């Protein structure tokens, strides 16, 4: 069987790369809380801006938000690096699934890497429920951040995933 070339090869890579990135993010999200890059934190309502960060080596992820309604919710942040040090992942989510808080703003920022893929969700998968992604117009992605889009974001957030490419030192 001949190796794929030209357009078929590009199509194969176009399908493979996002799948690999999502697997890395899912692996980071599934790791137990005792892992070194994993931590629980409270998302606190009240309208004030709060931040939570985790670092792993030269890479970090910071989640900044403001929320209203209800009481504190327990959330989780996992950061990880691929075995070849080529990808850094950051997953932020509410383990119980859907958040009941009203988010007025959010931003997740990575340092030491450039975002290759990111997604925001109004509901995190739990039990028989699936992840429900936000509409693309509700958030924006830059080289280093994922954040709400003013006037378009519908105030629901339960999960963020980021996979970023780390810089390579070429010999």
Query: How large is the average pLDDT for residues 121-143?
Result: 96
Phi-psi region of 70 (alpha: psi -120 to 50; beta: other; left: phi over 0): left
Which residues, 6 or more positions from 77, have their beta carbon under 8 angstroms from its beta carbon? 38, 39, 40, 41, 52, 54, 61, 63, 90, 91, 92
Segment among 18-22, 47-51, 138-142 with least mean pLDDT: 18-22
Residue 88 has pLDDT above 70, yes or no: yes
Percent of the chain with pLDDT over 70: 77
More reliable by pLDDT, 67 or 167: 67
Instruction: Give strand pairing partners of 92.
Output: 77, 160
Residue 24 has pLDDT above 50, yes or no: no
Q: What is the mean pLDDT of the chain?
A: 85
């Amino acid at each position: 069987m001949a190796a794929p070339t030209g357009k078929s090869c590009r199509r194969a890579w176009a399908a493979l790369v996002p799948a690999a990135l999502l697997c890395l993010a899912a692996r980071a999200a599934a790791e137990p809380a005792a892992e070194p890059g994993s931590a629980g934190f409270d998302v606190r309502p009240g309208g004030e801006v709060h931040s939570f960060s985790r670092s792993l080596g030269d890479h970090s992820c910071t989640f900044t938000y403001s929320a209203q309604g209800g009481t504190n919710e327990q959330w989780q942040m996992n950061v990880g690096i691929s075995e070849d040090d080529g990808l850094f992942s950051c997953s932020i989510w509410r383990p119980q699934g859907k958040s009941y808080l009203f988010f007025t703003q959010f931003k997740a920022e990575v340092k030491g890497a450039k975002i290759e893929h990111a997604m925001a969700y109004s509901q995190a998968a739990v039990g028989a429920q699936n992840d429900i992604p936000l509409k693309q117009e509700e958030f924006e992605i830059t080289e280093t951040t994922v954040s709400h889009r003013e006037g378009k974001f519908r105030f629901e957030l339960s999960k963020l995933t980021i996979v970023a490419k780390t810089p390579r030192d070429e010999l």
